[in-house]
Amino acid sequence: MDMRQGPFQTAVLTRYCGLASTPHDPGPHHDKTPIKEAGLLLEKDPKELAHMANSLSPMESAIGMATINSLIEVDEQRCVELNAGDLLEKMGEGKRVAIVGHFPFTARIRKMAKELWVIERNPQEGDFPESEAEKLIPQAEVVGITGTAFINHTIEHLLGLCKPQAYVVILGGTVPLSPILFEHGINAVSGTKVVNPELALRCVSQGATFRQVKGIRLLTMKND
What is the rounded distance in angstroms from the CA atom of residue 221 to the CA atom of residue 100? 19
CA atoms within a 13 Å half-sphere pointing along the CA-CB vector of 134: 1
Q: Which CATH architecture has domain 77-189?
A: 3-Layer(aba) Sandwich (3.40)
**What are the residue boundaries of the structural domains of the chain, listed by start?**
2-74+196-213, 77-189
Q: What is the pLDDT of residues 160-219, one digit of tens each?
A: 999 999 999 999 999 999 999 999 999 999 999 999 999 999 999 999 999 999 999 999
Q: What is the pLDDT of residues 45-78, one digit of tens each?
A: 999 999 999 999 999 999 999 999 999 999 999 9
Q: pTM for the complete prediction?
A: 0.94
**DSSP-H helix ranges across the chain:** 46-51, 58-71, 84-92, 106-112, 133-136, 148-151, 155-161, 197-205
